[in-house]
Chains A and B, each alone.
Chain A
Amino acid sequence: MNADFTAEELQFEQEVREFLQNDFPADYREKIDAGIRLSKEELVHWQKILYKKGWAAPNWPVEYGGTGWTATQKHIFATEMGLIGAPEPVPFGMKMVAPVIMAYGSDEQKQRFLPDILESNVWWCQGYSEPNSGSDLASLKTSAVRDGDEYVVNGSKTWNTYGQYADWIFCLVRTDNSVKKQEGISFLLIDMKSPGITLKPIVLLDGHAEVNEVFFDDVRVSASNLIGEENKGWTYAKVLLTHERTNISGVPRGKRRLAALKRIASNTDDGFGGNMMDNTAFKKKLAEAEIELQALEYSELRTLAALSVGKAPGPESSILKIVGTELAQLMDELFVDLAGYHCLPFVPEQFEDGFQGESIGPGNSAAAALTYFNNRKLSIFGGSNEIQRNIISKAVLGL
């Protein structure tokens, strides 16, 4: 057993570090440290910087413009990105729809869609969930009826992250009502500018409209936008879901947040003449979070080691999803604990880019509660943590 990097890997780590230090825009870093959300333009700009370097899509095969990195190199890259706080690519194109197009799309579809995803010219969003189909996704009802060379789509999708920015949406739609629910679903790509699509923003608890409802009213979609075969969409989507669950532990980001907690704690008065690093209750909780992070990191490394000898990510990835999200939520609580009264002001606009008013509270303490509220989503989406536990009990424990 051996958890060390080789000399080449260490050199690679150095290279990644230097690149990020030099090329990740300093003002983005400042914004992220101040709790300010990057705009679509900024995210795209950053993504294009990665693209120019040839590092836009570490997980893609080389033939489509991937890096050809080993699992360990990908891990190093993800770690360094997380440590510096550089945003990962918006996952919907790069991590979610692209692997499906590569695996099941036609050559024409590959040429049409993949280069624009790689280059971040086109923004994608995910149209799976519906008001009545969340955990039980296969019960979805949005229908696509074939009419000549087109499908006519009717229904509604919801919880659509950043749909307001999206050019395209990949959808699971029902193409057959007469069979078992999993067997009548197709995977369809839809241009968001198509007539008949309307978007309704949903404001979440942090005051930000991060998600949308998407309504389809007789939307006509060329049949050439169907991925693979009709009624096979569920199989394709399942493959995608396992992709979604790799790299989800958030260990690098966790490390960065842990360092932030320590920094903030030593600058926060405990009210008795010391600072919060002198506070035993807080220190104990901080230590517990750090220990959990280490256990998670080594769990991820073990998964990674299995991957690098060719094993597919199995249901064990559910562990990473559960522990990663619950640890992130625990850290949210610690930020709230530190901020105390200073996280009570509900002033979401002061974390929007270009805010001109006078900010409230020391540092970005007023963001702590907002993040605490918003990150409750982590245990709900991407397959809720209850569903993940069901997977472990069924697929791992055989219950």
Chain B
Amino acid sequence: MDFSNTEEQQMLQESVQKFVHKSYDFDTRNKIIDSDKGYSEENWQLFAELGWLTVPFSEADGGFGGSAVDLAVMMEEFGKAMLVEPFIATAVLSGGLISAQGSAEQKAEILPQIMEGKLQLACAYAEPGSRYNLANIKTTAVADGDSVVINGDKTAVLNASNAEVLVVVARESGEATDSEGISVFLVDAASTGISIHAYANVDGKKAAEISLKDVTVPASARLGSAATAFSALQATIDRATVAVSGEAVGAMEALLHKTVEYSKTRKQFGTAIGTFQALQHRMADMFIECQLARSIVIMAAMKLDSGDNQLEKTKAVSAAKSRVGKAIRKVSQEAIQIHGGIGMTEELDVGHLFKLVTAVEIMFGNTDYHTERFASL
């Protein structure tokens, strides 16, 4: 047994740390969020050069290897620095779904463009009433000769306003919550009938509400075969779930570290507040939560990389997301509380880490959802 990082993982970790140290301090991040696109294209090119964009992809796809553990290790560093670049949206979700469901030609056409940093995508799966049920797809795709006509509404679509291509999950047959009947289409974001209402999320990442009205695409825009995409969708979301859980582990680590440091310097009643046992125990609990979150993310990532069956994997992912979600509430709330008033301000990074992990708790299913899914499997 060996839980230490491989040499490759260590290099990946150091590579992100070096980049953050040099070019991604808190002020820079805030400027990027305030910019038009809400992410830095320059950084994105750098990510491509550094090979980060290949990490989610298998060697067969021309990637770094596609290990979930690698991905989690990298995301942890992203989380510490609160990177807002659309890595999850373009590489993990869209790229992941194309890799899992696309034909050989589709993959050969798109995946290299993603890995080279030339193409931005957004994966539109969630719908206003679907909550976290991935099979709940009401957006319809109806064949019309050589074309397919798509109608529906999508919610919380990460990176939609910057994407050239939307990866749209739609239903070709079956009832609203059937897992059968779901297909995925690559849709030019500039197509007639698409309207995008963009905003920034609480964690600074761009997202949008999308409505599709009679959006017509050629049948060749369908990824792989018709009405078979559910398991690819679920596997992709599962990987993304582990990735953002890794991101949360990094952010929580940062919250813990910053809180402990602050408690050593902030003086009240003539002494550092870190000397109050009431606070010491709470920080000890934060530490415990961080450790447990880290452990279960490693467990889930290892399961995803193992030869276990899909059910085992999905169950491990839900275990991780559920436990991480619990840690998120505890660690982030305590961090703010122990900082006192200053923790409530826009000005301090602690509050932004709090917002980031709050978003992760919801992303791809909140704690309750994953606890119930775990119980039901």
Contacts and interface: CB of A to CB of B under 8 A. Distances in A.
Interface of A: 129, 132-136, 139, 158-159, 202-205, 207, 211, 268-273, 279-282, 285, 329, 333, 336-337, 340-347, 358, 360, 362, 369, 372-374, 376-377, 379-381, 384-386, 389-390
Contacts of A390: 278
B85 interface: no
A122 B126 CA distance: 50
B132 A340 contact: yes
Interface residues of B, number: 49
Given A207-B346, A272-B177, A129 B341 contact: yes
Contacts of A204: 344-346
Given A159-B341, A337-B366, A381-B341, A358 B346 contact: no
Contact of A346 (B201, B269, B344): B201
A346 B366 contact: no
B359 A136 contact: no
B268 interface: yes
Nearest to B282: A386
Interface string B259-302: 00000000111100000101100000000000000000000000
Given A134-B341, A136-B269, A369-B202, 17 more contacts: A136-B270, A205-B346, A205-B351, A207-B346, A268-B131, A271-B177, A272-B133, A341-B126, A342-B155, A344-B201, A344-B207, A344-B362, A346-B355, A362-B128, A376-B333, A376-B344, A390-B278
B229 interface: no
Contacts of B304: none
Interface string B330-363: 0001001100110111110001001100110010
Given A202-B347, A205-B354, A271-B129, A384 B199 contact: no
B133 A271 contact: yes
Contacts of B155: 341-342
A372 B358 contact: yes
Contacts of B359: 344
Contacts of B201: 344-346
A372 B329 CA distance: 11
B345 A202 contact: yes
A345 B131 contact: no
B362 A343 contact: yes
A134 B268 contact: yes
A389 B202 contact: no
A344 B372 CA distance: 22
B368 interface: yes
Interface of B: 126, 128-133, 136, 155-156, 176-177, 197, 199-204, 207, 209, 267-270, 276, 278-279, 329, 333, 336-337, 340-341, 343-347, 351, 354-355, 358-359, 362, 366, 368, 371-372
B209 A205 contact: no
A129 to B, nearest CB: 7
A344 B129 contact: no
A239 to B, nearest CB: 22
Contact of B199 (A269, A285, A347, A373): A347
Nearest to A279: B368
A53 to B, nearest CB: 36
A303 B197 CA distance: 51
20 contacts: A134-B340, A135-B269, A203-B345, A204-B346, A207-B346, A269-B129, A270-B131, A271-B129, A272-B136, A281-B371, A337-B366, A340-B131, A341-B131, A344-B359, A346-B204, A360-B209, A374-B344, A377-B341, A380-B341, A386-B278
B132 A386 contact: no
Residue with the highest number of chain A CB atoms closer than 10 Å, among B136, B156, B333 = B156
A270 B177 CA distance: 11
Contacts of A202: 345-347
A40 B226 CA distance: 58
Contacts of B358: 336, 369, 372-373
A387 to B, nearest CB: 10
B363 to A, nearest CB: 8
Contacts of A269: 129-131
A271 B372 CA distance: 13
Residue with the highest number of chain B CB atoms closer than 10 Å, among A342, A381, A385 = A342
Given A342-B155, A345-B201, A386-B279, A336 B362 contact: yes
A373 B341 contact: no
Given A135-B269, A205-B345, A282-B368, A345 B177 contact: no
A205 B130 CA distance: 29
A361 to B, nearest CB: 8
A341 B362 contact: yes
Contact of A377 (B344, B346, B366): B344
A205 B268 contact: no
A389 B199 contact: no
Nearest to B128: A362
Contacts of A373: 202, 351, 354-355, 358
Given A337-B366, A343-B362, A136 B268 contact: yes
